[in-house]
Structures are given as C-alpha cells and as structure tokens.
Amino acid sequence: MLTEEEKNEIVDMVVDRVGDMTVERLLLSIPEVVGNLMASAAALTKTNKEFYDKHKEFSKHRDVVASVVEQTEGKNPLLSHAELLEKAVPDIKRRIKKMSGLDMKNVTSKPNLTFDRLDSPSDQHGKL
C-alpha cells in the first residue's frame, strides 16, 4: 500500500511529465503555425495585388480602400478577402467621387466661428 506522500510524488511526476509533453508539442507546432501565417500573408498580398491591378484608379486612394473594406467586412464578416474587395468596389468608387470635390490641401487655418447666419431670433436660443 502506498502512503499519501508516495501518491503525491507519483501525481507530481505525472503532472510534470504531461506538462513537459504539452510544452514540447507547443514548441513543435510553432513552425507549422508560422508557415500557415506566412502562406496566409502571401495569399492576401497576391489578392491585393490582383485587386489593384484590376482597379488601377484605386492605387492613389489606398486609405479610402482600407476604410471601405473595413466597413464592408464589419457588415459581412463571413466573406473571404477577395469577396470583400469586390463587394466594396461600388462604395469605394462612391467615396472617391465624394472626396474628389473636397480641397484637402488648402485648409483655412482660422475658420469662421461666428454663427451670424442662424435664422432664429436672439430670444429663441435654447428653446425647442
């Protein structure tokens, strides 16, 4: 018959061995995980290159593309990256068209902060 101390030693040995095996398995899986990440990154790079080759007008508006694709992905989380890109094309075109009318280079350093153009009489402020 084993004493309580001997039982605890056996349990500790088994736990240590299982822990060592777990760490060993984790370490051995690192190359596979890194390989999968590299393959995934390469596939995304290829998809993006094909997308920009197909839509050359978007290459100067990569920030718009990224923003719209993020919004599209939020609404359609189960689509593949290629499907997201194609689904986002009409919204990207719309956003670029809207932004083309904005002057992003000449910004007024001191915008007019007076609200003289309000139509309500002065005694009506704050009332609904």
Residue 55 counted as domain residue: yes
Q: Is residue 81 part of a domain?
A: yes
Where in the sequence is the domain holding 72, given as residue range(s)?
Answer: 11-101
How does DSSP assign the chain, residue by residue? ---HHHHHHHHHHHHHHHHHHHHHHHHHHHHHHHHHHHHHHHHHHHHHHHHHHH-GGGGGGHHHHHHHHHHHHHH-TTS-HHHHHHHHHHHHHHHHHHHHTS-SS---SS-----TT--S-GGGTT--
Whether 92 maps to a domain, the answer reads yes
In a domain, 91, yes or no: yes
Please give the residue that has the higher pLDDT: either 3 or 50: 50
Number of domains in the chain: 1
Report yes or no on 34 lying in a domain: yes
Residue 65 lies in a domain: yes
Is residue 67 in a domain?
A: yes
| 57 located within any domain | yes
pTM of the predicted protein model = 0.60
Name the percent of the chain lying above pLDDT 90: 52
